[in-house]
Structure 1
Amino acid sequence: MHPMLKPALRRAWRSAGTVQFGVTHAHAVKFGPLDIATGSFLELLDGTRGLPLLREEARTLDLSDHQVDTLVGSLADAGLIDDVRAAGPETDALRNRPGALDRHRPDLASLSVVHREPGGGMRRLAARRAMRVQVRGAGRVGAAIAAVLSGSGVGRVEVLDGGHTEPWDVSPGGLPPTAVGERRDTAARQLVRRSAAGAAPRAAETAGSPGGGEPGLSLVVVAPRDGLSAYAPDPRSAEPWIASGTPHLYAGVMEATGVVGPLVLPGGTACAGCLALERAARDADWTRMLSQWRSGRRTAVQACDLGLATAVAGLAAAHALSFLDGELPASTGTRWEAALPLLDWRPERMEPHLDCSCGAAGHTGRERSSTSDTRQDTMAG
């Protein structure tokens, strides 16, 4: 291990014996007490020295080996130590792609702040390369989500959509003007390749087994060009994902209203079928109106403001990445909604329905259990 103080956390002395790492309430940590010697020792924690060399240099500061080990251990327990040489075949493969690693340094810095354990950021960034995500929709929202996921290190990002790119599909973070007239799926694949930091991994790298083969889907992001399919998703379209246990996240824009979520964990949180049953129970006319909205051929251009579409795509991609990194983001079993012009994001909890065949109603207590330790509030008091 080559300990390094996490460089993404800015450092300041609160008092003569206390250092604060980090600025924001969410991630700031107060550490102390420190005297002149231990404060000087902090400058040695830059990732260039292993513990034996750190102990040797610390002796010039009159610090014993025990003091060094205790201090490094306390810093690590506080989530302030990173290990730039975190071991493992996936992290080694990432280091062997220096150009890609340079592209991902902001992502790596963010992951190091969020995940406390030394080397946790590097391991999660490397793990993304073995993941396969499917984005359903290549409009202003879906294409931008696919680009962000690919640019964030997800190894395989597939985009499914039909037809040809229209001028109103174009967006700064999504399909370019040159894609107009091209098949949407072809243009989206090109966008994914351009957004990635290097070539896509070979099948043997992502299969998770020596025999190779296509990896299973880690997540499906449903971001249809027709926002109604995200706002009121058809339960029939989700049946294969429910049956296979594939997590899926809805996102879209409907009539100048942005929607992110719910993230559905099959059998654990409310699914599209639960949403349909609950809405029909609240509004006796809903099913009749919905069938009318879904029927017929729509020729009008969707009310999908570019700023709102970009915000929805960014938030959905961030939630997707949080899930892929092992967390349960706030969209798990919850839909976030914001409408122009005020853009006040509000959550709506989606409860599993007892009459839904997905079976989630019997598991409502488990979906919020996090897959990682809860960060302690170090700023209290």
Structure 2
Amino acid sequence: MHPMVKPALRRAWRSLRCVQFGITPAHAVVVSPVDPGTGELLALLDGTRGTELLRAEARARGLPDGHLEALLGRLAAAGLLADASNGRPGKPGSGAGSGAAAGAAAGAGAGATVRDPLRADLASLSVVHSEPDRAVRTLAARRALRVQVRGAGRVGAMVAALLSAAGVGTVEVLDSGRVEPWETAPGGLPAEAVGERRATAARRVVRRWARGGTRAGPTGGATGQGDGRGSPGLSLVVVTPRDGLGAYVPDPVPAGPWITTGTPHLYAGVLEATGTVGPLVLPGGTACACCLQEELTDREPVRPRLLAQWRSGAPHPLPACDLALATAVAGLATAHALAFLDGDLPASTGARWEVSLPLLEWRAERLRPHPDCPCGAARGGEGERASAAGSAQDTMAG
């Protein structure tokens, strides 16, 4: 083992015997008391030394036998310890030696020369997860996942690109028609894709941002059709319709097969300068599209008549989808998707987050399972089933 204090957390001494790791309240940890010898030993926990060498360093400073182990135990319990010998699975030459080198470079700060595009993602995961090797295992687990993005407009194309860039193994994009000029965006479909088939253009974007270890789909890259041949089951469906109505008021009909098969799905989109992220639906555990429609009908009996008119005919020819708002929605939706794929239950689980121009104040609405909905979430107990689903995802990610 080559122990190191997680380099992503900045270190500052609050006093001569009290050190703080991290700045933000969500992840900062204070360690106290710290005597001078232990403080010197802390400075050596940069991943370049194995435990035997660290024991010798501790003895040279007059620290008693077992002091190093006690310090490492304290740091591990506080979620501050990482093992540089793990490296990142899937990288060429990864192993104990290369992992130690990567850890040493990570602790070297600005002078580090490791050229790993997922290095910052790994650092973020190390902050989020307390276990020393959880970040490495989580990033490796993403390679085995298969996510389907349904819709390749401004929001959907960016979500697909971000998921691919974050290390998700297989990202499929389903859509029809051809790219319109107003659907292009930085980070999404490029300007040169105008007139091209949306699925083809989106597949190229996904392939461009794919990281090492990405699984090739049936077409030799991230797939555009999602026929599932030779690929694992869907881990998640992200519904990002170009006409944001399908995300703002989800249609229960397309969601029927996902409810039947127990496939988790997340809605995200922009409608009339209003962005939405959620709900993340855990079939049988949280409110689904049908639950939401039933609830809206209870509040406003005329709602079915309105929905029938809004959903009928051709999609709206020119959605009001602001570029910056679409980017914000795509980023938040991807972050929620990754949190779920990594084994957590994000705030969109059974809830919807909404933001509107020009004030851009995010609002959250909790969605309850409807007793008349055939999905069964209301009868099964939302909290219990959601927790069980979270545990299942944690097992998968681990």
Is 1:223 the equivalent of 2:220?
no
| 2-structure distance, mates of 1:93, 1:199 | 6
Alignment partners' CA distance in 2, 1:130 and 1:119: 18
Instruction: Report the Cα distance in structure 2 between the residues aligned to 1:146 and 1:180, rounded to whole angstroms.
Output: 18
Q: Distance in 2 between matches of 1:159 and 1:267?
A: 26
1:59 and 2:59 correspond: yes
The answer on whether the counterparts of 1:137 and 1:160 sit within 8 Å (CA) in structure 2 is yes
Q: Indicate whether 1:107 and 2:104 are aligned.
A: no
Structure 2 residue 85 is the aligned partner of structure 1 residue 93: no
Give the counterpart of 1:282 among 275, 278, 299: 299
Aligned to 1:190: 204
Q: Give the superposition deviation at 1:199.
A: 6.0
Alignment correspondent of 2:137: 123
Deviations 1:292-347 (A, max 9, x none): 01112245300000010000000000000111111100000000001111111000
Q: 2:347 aligned with 1:351, yes or no? A: no
Pairing 1:1-381 to 2, within 5 Å after superposition = 1-86=1-86, 91-94=88-91, 96=93, 102-198=116-212, 200-201=214-215, 213-361=230-378, 362-366=380-384, 369=387, 371=391
Query: 1:55: Cα distance to partner?
Result: 0.9
Give secondary structure in 1 for the equivalent of 2:25: coil
Instruction: Tell me if structure 2 keeps the 8 A contact 1:164–1:182.
Output: yes
Secondary structure of 1:343's partner? coil
Instruction: Give the total of aligned pairs.
Output: 362
Instruction: Measure, in 1, the Cα distance between the counterparts of 2:303 and 2:326.
Output: 26
Say if 1:94 and 1:126, in contact at 8 Å, map to a contact too.
Answer: no
The alpha carbon displacement at 1:51 in A equals: 1.6
Structure 1: gaps of 5 or more residues: 204-211, 373-381
Q: Shift of residue 58 of structure 1?
A: 1.1
Equivalents in 2 of 1:228, 1:122: separation in Å? 38
**Structure 2 residue runs without a partner (length 5+):** 99-112, 218-228, 393-398
Q: CA deviation at 1:148?
A: 0.5
Alpha-carbon distance in structure 2 between the residues aligned to 1:55 and 1:95: 31
- The code of the aligned residue for 1:113 comes to V
Moved more, 119-128 or 20-29: 119-128
Residues 1:174 and 1:29: Cα distance change in structure 2 (over 3 Å): same
Structure-2 change in CA distance of 1:27 and 1:11 (3 Å): same
TM-score by length of 2: 0.87
Q: Which amino acid aligns with 1:230?
A: A
AA partner of residue 261 (structure 1): G
Per-residue deviation, 1:268 = 0.6
Q: Distance in 1 between matches of 2:239 and 2:289?
A: 11
Deviations 1:7-59 (A, max 9, x none): 11000000111000000011100001001100000011111222222112211
Cα distance between partner residues in 2 of 1:300 and 1:137: 15
Seen in structure 2, the aligned counterparts of structure 1 residues 291 and 19 have a Cα distance that, compared at 3 Å, is: same
Deviation at 1:367, TM superposition (A): 5.0
Partner Cα separation in structure 2 for residue 171 and residue 221 of structure 1: 19
User: What is the rounded CA distance, in whole Å, between the counterparts of 2:338 and 2:9 in structure 1?
Assistant: 21
Q: Which amino acid aligns with 2:260?
A: A
Evaluate the alpha carbon distance shift between residue 34 and residue 104 of structure 1 in structure 2; reply closer, same or farther with a 3 A threshold.
same
Aligned-residue CA RMSD in angstroms? 2.0
Partners of 1:199 and 1:8 lie apart in 2 by 24
Deviations 1:326-372 (A, max 9, x none): 11000000000011111110000000011111111122222554659
* Shift in alpha-carbon separation, 1:299–1:131, aligned structure 2, 3 A: closer
What's the CA shift string for 1:84-118, capped at 9, x where partnerless?
Answer: 2238xxx5324547999710011011000000000
CA contact (8 A) 1:134 1:159 kept: yes
Q: How far apart, in 2, do the equivalents of 1:184 and 1:202 lie?
A: 19
SS of aligned partner of 1:315: helix
2:72 is matched by which residue type in structure 1? V
Describe the SS at the equivalent of 1:366.
Answer: helix
For the residue of structure 2 that corresponds to 1:65, the secondary structure is: coil
Amino acid at match of 1:86: N
Indicate conservation of the 8 Å contact 2:286/2:382, yes or no.
Answer: yes
Moved more, 290-299 or 146-155: 290-299
**What fraction of aligned residue pairs are identical, expressed as a percent?**
63
Aligned equivalents of 2:174 and 2:266: distance in 1?
Answer: 15
Q: Distance in 2 between matches of 1:42 and 1:95?
A: 31
Q: Secondary structure at the match of 1:347?
A: strand
- Give the distance between the partners of 1:364 and 1:100, measured in 2 at CA: 45
